[in-house]
Amino acid sequence: MASLKTGSKRQPINWTPYLFMLIPLALYFTWIVYPTFSTFYLSLTNWDGVTRNPRFIGFANYDRLFSDRDFHLSLQNNLRWLLVFITVPSVAGLFLAMIFNAEMVGGRFYKVSFFAPLVLSLPVIGLVWSFGVYNPQEGLLQLVATWFGNPDAKISILSSRQTAIWAVIAAAVWRQVGYVMVLYLAGLKNVDPSLVDAAQVDGADRLNLFFRVILPLLAPVTSIIVVISVIDSLRAFDLVSVMTRGGNNTQVLANFMYIEAFNNYKMGYGASIAVMLFLISFVFILFFLWRVLQDEIEA
């Protein structure tokens, strides 16, 4: 009986794993959870960032936001950024990955060359493109125009309301292509060679082999690339701030939020812009998680 009683004693709880989690969880709640809920609350106030007690005004900031021309312009620019980011880097990155997946002389050098822009920070890329490519005096585009026999032409892409936003997006695409290329290269390494060989034995040409075998097998990688492209396009800020400061119709939601909150001292209004940006991003993230769960269920 004594042995049974001894064996039935409950083991003491090992608190060591919880103690290791305590500091990361505290940091997470301090820097992520609390600021998120604070932003939701501030979006319902008219706080200017200086006064101690924000005044609650309900949904007045959102009523103003939906009728604000700058908000509509910023949202349109983010959508332009999104459409370009989903299509151009994905197609160009897949094209380069298909080329570099085969053994070729100097293949590593070319891979590193296309991947190199990714190691540069976005402010540095903005400066490189502003002064090295778009400078109307000595930029690359101006030099090309001079070489082709038009020395009097002044190409000022960033100063034009029609072309400035596309110029900024082009700089972002230049950086994104290398990243997409690396992801597709990793996906191509996991493609089963026996499936490719079987398709070739059955007489599939290159186009059918690509569209009917390789591309469907790359669907998980494509889904990840689409989600990353959506998030990167919605949080775009650095390039716009460095290259145009939001002028010439290049303002995006993150830049608009920063200007309203920290330049115009309208923290409540800036918080409402941040909430809208969060909700738009959350919709895409939920869609991605739903697709992942569907794939897991079907598997």
Q: What is the per-residue DSSP string for 219-282?
A: HHHHHHHHHHHHHHHHT--HHHHHHTTTTTTT--HHHHHHIIIIIS--HHHHHHHHHHHHHHHH
**Tokens of residue 173, six digits:** 């695409």
Contact 147, 138 (CB under 8 A): no
pLDDT at residue 11 above 80?
no
Residue 116, C-beta contacts closer than 8 angstroms, at least 6 positions apart: 178
- Cα separation values, 50 from 39, 47, 56, 60, Å: 16, 8, 15, 20
In this model, does residue 72 exceed pLDDT 60?
Answer: yes
Is residue 1 pLDDT above 50, yes or no? no
Taking the domains of the chain in order of start, what are their residue ranges? 82-251
| 181 secondary structure, DSSP code | H
- Residues 189-199, mean pLDDT to the nearest whole number: 86
Q: Are 255 and 41 in contact (CB under 8 A)?
A: no
In what helix (H) or strand (E) does residue 288 lie, and over which residues does it extend? Answer: helix 267-298
**Confidence bin at 35 (pLDDT 50/70/90):** very high
Separation between Cα atoms, residue 276 and residue 293, nearest integer Å: 26
Ranges 20-29, 251-260, 265-274, 286-295: which has the least confidence: 286-295
What class, spelled out in words, does domain 82-251 have in CATH?
Answer: mainly alpha
Q: Mind listing the pLDDT tens digit for each residue in 138-164? A: 888 888 888 876 666 777 888 888 899
pLDDT at 34 over 90: yes
Q: Per-residue pLDDT averaged across 48-58, rounded?
A: 87
Radius of gyration of the chain (CA): 26
Q: Which residues contact 53 (CB under 8 A, 6 or more apart)?
A: none
Percent of the chain with pLDDT over 70: 95
Length of the chain: 299
Residue type, 54: P
3-class SS of residue 45: strand
Task: Collapse the DSSP code of 214 into the 3-class scheme (helix H, G, I; strand E, B; otherwise coil) and give the result.
Answer: helix
What is the identity of the amino acid at 264? Answer: N
